[in-house]
Amino acid sequence: MSDRVVEWTKMKSARAKSKIWIERRGRMVTLLCVAFMVFVAASILYFVTSKGLSTFVINKASITDFLFGKEWDPGKLDKEGKPVVGALPMIEGSFAVTLFSALICAPFAIGGAVFMTEISPKFGKRILQPVIELLVGIPSVVYGFTGLSLVVPFLRDHFSGSGFGIAAATIVLTVMILPTMMSLSVDAILAVPASLREASLALGATRWQTIYKVVLRTARPGILTAMIFGMARAFGEALAVQMVIGNSAVIPKSLMEPASTLTSILTMGMGNTVMGQVENNALWTLALILLLMSLIFIMIVRILGRRRTFE
């Protein structure tokens, strides 16, 4: 009798132990996966930063020359023996295409999002939503190729120049970030509690007044977040821009002249340079600027996120 009791307790404690073991193992395995991601992020930061800084540390270029210099010819040395790495044309190009495309895109994205949520939700959900999801997924080279075969010839025929330039890149990016901006704006507007809308309508406000004074104001941080994500996508886009901007590292005189962005020069140059040389290090510094900009975008999103509460 007592034997069986002892056996039973032994069995039970063994089972309990194995359960604790399973618990710990599960926790450990999932924690390892997270640790791997942190490790990856840290090594990307480390590698790109150390490579990017070597232009300044090893090749002795000055940071102000890099950020504000207008001449980009990393193979050459100037009078003081420093490499000629003025990245201003690329930095300006990147900011120009990002800002222009965001400015053109924003009204359409917000207008479309309002239409989908406030004016005709049925049509929005049935037709616009799936099309937008599909467009988010269309590869950037396809956008680039469409720009190359449609936008560039159009600009060449109707305006001056070769058609390659900031204008073409802006048009391609506008279409490209439209789905991103719009679907995130829809999410932001949908998060506005229905009670606010009802209260406004009950006070006798028209639909437009409700949209303008209640819905859009309440959803503002979320909509701004959507704009920032769209801008981040435009800033980091490489191939679609590279295909239509013309890739000459000078500050263009007009929107129709060939220009360049950080990503386009990076994409073009990396294959033609040798690791460890000045030309290559200078490209890594461009990559570092891209990395820092995406950190800044995330910081802005985080700050906006803190204000995203509905009281």
Partner 1 sequence: MKAKIADRIATVVFYIIALLLVLLLAGLLGYILLKGLSHISWHFITSPPESFQAGGGIGPQLFNSLYLLVLTMLISVPLSLGAGIYMAEYAKKNIWTNILRTVIEVLSSLPSIVVGLFGFLFFVISMGWGFSILSGALALTLFNLPLMVRVVEDSIRGVPSSQREAGLALGVSKWETIKHVLLPAALPGIITGIILASGRVFGEAAALIYTAGMSSPNLDFTNWNPFSPTSPLNPLRPAETLAVHIWKVNGEAVIPDVNAVSSGASAVLVLFILVFNVSARWIGKRIYRRMTSS
Binding flag, residue 162, partner 1 (CB under 8 A): no
Binding flag, residue 36, partner 1 (CB under 8 A): yes
Binding flag, residue 160, partner 1 (CB under 8 A): no
Nearer to partner 1, 65 or 234 (CB): 234
Binding flag, residue 114, partner 1 (CB under 8 A): yes
State the helix-helix crossing angle for 166-190 and 88-114, rounded to 10 degrees.
40
If we measure between CA atoms, which residue out of 251, 261, 263 comes closest to residue 291? 263
Binding segment (CB under 8 A) for partner 1, from list 66-74, 190-198, 214-222, 294-302: 294-302
Residue 63 · residue 81 · CB < 8 Å: no
Q: Which of 8, 47, 68, 310 binds partner 1 (CB under 8 A)?
A: 47
SS3 at position 72: strand
Strand ranges in the chain using DSSP code E only, listed in sequence order = 72-77, 83-85
Binding segment (CB under 8 A) for partner 1, from list 44-52, 155-163, 183-191, 248-256: 44-52
For residues 18 and 24, give the distance between their C-alpha atoms in angstroms, rounded to a whole number: 10
Of residues 117-136, which lie at the interface with partner 1 (CB under 8 A)?
Answer: 119-120, 123, 127-128, 130-135
Contacts with partner 1, 133-152, as mask; x by CB under 8 A: xxx-xxxxxx-xxx-xxx--
Contacts with partner 1, 222-261, as mask; x by CB under 8 A: -------x--x--xxxxx---x------------------
CB atoms < 10 A from the CB of 167, how many? 24
Nearer to partner 1, 194 or 274 (CB): 274
160: Cβ contacts below 8 Å, ≥ 6 apart: 254, 256
Strand ranges in 106-154 using DSSP code E only, listed in sequence order = none
Nearer to partner 1, 81 or 271 (CB): 271
Of residues 168-207, which lie at the interface with partner 1 (CB under 8 A)?
Answer: 175, 178, 182, 205-207
State the helix-helix crossing angle for 262-269 and 278-306, rounded to 10 degrees.
140
